Amino acid sequence: MLETRELSRSFGKLAALSNVSFSVDKGEVFGIAGPNGAGKSTLFNVITGNYAPTSGKVFFCGNDITGKKPYQICQLGIGRTFQIPTTFHTLSVYDNIKVGSTFGGYKTRPPEEILEFLNISQLSALPARNLDLYSTKLTMLGAVLATNCQLLMLDEPMAGFSIVEINRFIEVLQRINKEWGVTIVIIEHLLDILIGLTERMLILSNGSLLYLGPSSEVTQDRKVVEVYIGAAHKEEFHAES
């Protein structure tokens, strides 16, 4: 469904991404992780048209979408959320989700369906500025889902959540994937959560691909342990080896 080929993005002399190639299959839940500044959000921004790549290509469903505008990519079937929850604060939850259904592609999902699916119908008339963090992120997610996206890209969606909220949100993502058949690509710092949620994973470091493979094997990769998991786990890794 999604493929990048030798994707690079530089800001002046800083190479934020360097020749990153990977693919995501239809129906998959795919994880992306890495240290702060590794290039994860830049990768999302290049794929979704917020940044033009310095070099390389992006393909969606076999079609070259490199250089298209964000609204064009959205209408093709790619939806995304942001690290910082983005809503229209003065609009109600209902109207925030309606914005998504307005700017989606040919066939969108009505706000009522999204509200019921996310179990937030009771918040429908509430202004977005009055929501807690969890409800704000659900509203942002709802607006994206209303575009009827085929590929959902989530940038650290569980940051700031309690354990209870994390578990609730994971259940939502699993339902989106299984019941609606939406392919998911998720950036997350919580590596243990990501391992349990995804089948395959990509680890970035300094803009370059460090690991690409089964999520269940990522903690056994020596480079990942040294660069990302950190010194606290390094001794444990060598002891087990």
Q: Are residues 118 and 224 in the same domain?
A: no
Cα 200 from Cα 212, distance rounded (Å): 7
Q: Are residues 43 and 129 in the same domain?
A: no
Q: Are residues 141 and 167 in the same domain?
A: no
Mean pLDDT score of the chain: 92
Q: Are residues 6 and 50 in the same domain?
A: yes
Number of Cβ within 10 Å of residue 27's Cβ equals 12
Q: Are residues 87 and 18 in the same domain?
A: no
Query: pLDDT grade, residue 230 (50/70/90)?
Result: low
Q: Are residues 158 and 130 in the same domain?
A: no
Q: What are phi and psi of 198, to 5 degrees?
A: -110, 160
Q: Are residues 72 and 168 in the same domain?
A: yes
Which domain does 134 fall in, by range? Answer: 83-147
pLDDT winner (highest mean) among 15-19, 33-37, 224-228: 15-19
**What total of structural domains would you count in the chain?**
2
Q: Are residues 93 and 142 in the same domain?
A: yes
